[in-house]
Amino acid sequence: MAILDQIPRNGRILVIRIRSLGDCVLTTPALRILKAARPDCHVGVVVESRFHDLFTENPDIDYLLEPEYLAVVRFDADLCLNLHGGIRSLALTIASGARWRAGFGHFKGTWVYNVLIPRAQQILGEERTVHTAEHLASAMFHLGALKQDIPRARLFARPEQTAQPYAVLHAMASAPEKTWPAERFLKIAHHLQKAMGLDPVFIGAAMDDLSPFSSFRCVQGASLQQVQSLLAGASLFIGNDSGPAHMAAAFGLPVVVLFGSSDPVVWAPWKTVSEVLVARDSIARVTLEEVIAALERLKVKV
C-alpha cells in the first residue's frame, strides 16, 4: 500500500524545503499534487522566513514553519518529506519523530529514512535529464499520488496597477558567469520602450548595484510579496537565470531567460511561454540581436 494511503484521516504531512528562491517556487507544483492526493491532511512546509511570502495564500499549504527543532517537534507529523537533503534538513527530519520519513536515495544519511525515494527517471519511467519541477513532483508520485501532468508553479499576489503596461527586467544573478552585460540590458530596455510600448522596470536585491539602470524605474530591496505583485501585473519578463525568472513563470508571464553555466533543461521556465538563450562558455556570447529576435517570436500583447 502506498504511503499516502496509510496516513490516517486528517493526518499531518511535513515537507522540509528550507530554501532557496527558485527551489521554493518549483516546489509548489509538487505541493499541489500532494494536497490533491490527500486534501484531508494538514500540510506544513518548513522554510526560512525570508521565503514565507512565496507560500502565503497558497491553498495547498496549511502551516509555514521555521526550520527550528521545536517547531518541527510540535507539528507532530505522520509523514516527514525532506526535499532539501542537507545536514540541517536531516536533523529536522530526525526531530520530526514522524512514523514515515522520506528522502531521496542520493541524500546523505539515508539511514534516517524508512522511505527512500528513487531517481526521478525511475519514477517517471523516462531516462533523460529532468526539470527540477519534475524531480520534486516525482517524490509525490512515489509516495502514492496519481501520476499526472505536472502543473505550473503557483504564487499568489494582487497585480500592481499602472497606467502604462510594463516589462520586468532582472539583470542580476548569483555569479558573474550567469550575468549578461548591463549595457545590453540597457539597450533591451530602450527597445522595449520604443518598439514595444512597454515601460522597463528593473528589479534587484538591496545589495545589488542598479545604478546602470537609473534612467528607468528601479525596484530595489522590495519584499518578495511586492515583487510578486509587480510580476503579477507585468506583460513580460526578461532576465538572467535566477529565482525571479521562476517567479515570473509561475504567474504565466512570457519570459526571456539568458543562461550561462546552468543547465537550461533542469532550470528552464516551467510551463509558460518562453525563450531560452544559452551560451555555456560565456553568457556574454548571447547577442543583443538574439534577445530582440526572441522578443519578436514571443509576440507579446500589451
pLDDT digits (tens, 9 = 90+) for 149-174: 999 999 999 999 888 999 999 999 88
Residue 156 lies in a domain: no
Residue 149 lies in a domain: no
Q: Determine which helix (DSSP H) or strand (DSSP E) holds 232, and give its type and residue range.
A: helix 224-232
- Report residue 130 as a C-alpha cell: 529532468
Residue 101 lies in a domain: yes
Considering the chain, what is the average pLDDT of its residues? 96
Q: Are 199 and 130 in contact (CB under 8 A)?
A: no
pLDDT digits (tens, 9 = 90+) for 226-268: 999 999 999 999 999 999 999 999 999 999 999 998 899 999 9
CATH number at residue 218: 3.40.50.2000
Q: Are 29 and 136 in contact (CB under 8 A)?
A: yes
The secondary structure of residue 2, as a DSSP letter, is -
Residue 160 lies in a domain: no
Percentage of the chain lying above the pLDDT 90 cut: 93
Percentage of the chain lying above the pLDDT 70 cut: 100
Q: Are 25 and 252 in contact (CB under 8 A)?
A: no
Is there a single domain that holds both residue 28 and residue 101? yes
Is there a single domain that holds both residue 7 and residue 138? yes
Q: Determine which helix (DSSP H) or strand (DSSP E) holds 80, and give its type and residue range.
A: strand 79-82
Using CA atoms, how far apart are residues 259 and 275, in angstroms rounded to an integer? 11
Backbone angles phi, psi at 102, to 5 degrees: -110, 140
Is there a single domain that holds both residue 112 and residue 216? no
Largest Cα–Cα separation, the chain? 61
pLDDT category at 175 given cuts 50, 70, 90 is confident
Range with the lowest mean pLDDT among 95-104, 208-217, 293-302? 293-302
Q: Is the dihedral of CA 19, 25, 31, 33 positive or negative?
A: negative
Using CA atoms, how far apart are residues 226 and 156, in angstroms rounded to an integer? 11
- The gap between the terminal CA atoms of the chain, to the nearest Å, is 51
Is there a single domain that holds both residue 187 and residue 131? no
94, 111, 143: which is the final residue of a domain? 143
Residue 159 lies in a domain: no
Using CA atoms, how far apart are residues 163 and 161, in angstroms rounded to an integer? 7
Using CA atoms, how far apart are residues 61 and 103, in angstroms rounded to an integer? 20
Residue 158 lies in a domain: no
Q: Please report the pLDDT score of residue 287 as a whole number.
A: 96
Q: Please report the pLDDT score of residue 301 as a whole number.
A: 72
What pTM value is reported for the model? 0.96
Length, in residues, of the chain: 302
| Domain around 264 | 166-298
Q: Please report the pLDDT score of residue 10 as a whole number.
A: 98
Is there a single domain that holds both residue 110 and residue 205? no
pLDDT digits (tens, 9 = 90+) for 14-30: 999 999 999 999 999 99
Is there a single domain that holds both residue 17 and residue 82? yes
Q: Please report the pLDDT score of residue 299 as a whole number.
A: 84
**Residue 117 pLDDT greater than 90, yes or no:** yes
Q: Please report the pLDDT score of residue 69 as a whole number.
A: 97
Using CA atoms, how far apart are residues 133 and 29, in angstroms rounded to an integer? 7
Question: Comparing C-alpha atoms, which of 290, 205, 195 is closest to residue 244?
Answer: 205
Using CA atoms, how far apart are residues 15 and 26, in angstroms rounded to an integer? 14
Is there a single domain that holds both residue 77 and residue 136? yes
Residue 171 lies in a domain: yes
Is there a single domain that holds both residue 139 and residue 7? yes
Q: Please report the pLDDT score of residue 192 as a whole number.
A: 97
Using CA atoms, how far apart are residues 276 and 265, in angstroms rounded to an integer? 10
**Residue 302 pLDDT greater than 80, yes or no:** no
Is there a single domain that holds both residue 124 and residue 182? no
Domain count, the chain: 2
- Report residue 57 as a C-alpha cell: 495564500
Is there a single domain that holds both residue 99 and residue 215? no
Which amino acid appears at position 73 of this protein?
A: V
Is there a single domain that holds both residue 115 and residue 175? no
Is there a single domain that holds both residue 177 and residue 126? no
Using CA atoms, how far apart are residues 266 and 268, in angstroms rounded to an integer? 6
Range with the lowest mean pLDDT among 181-190, 247-256, 277-286? 277-286
Using CA atoms, how far apart are residues 8 and 28, in angstroms rounded to an integer? 23
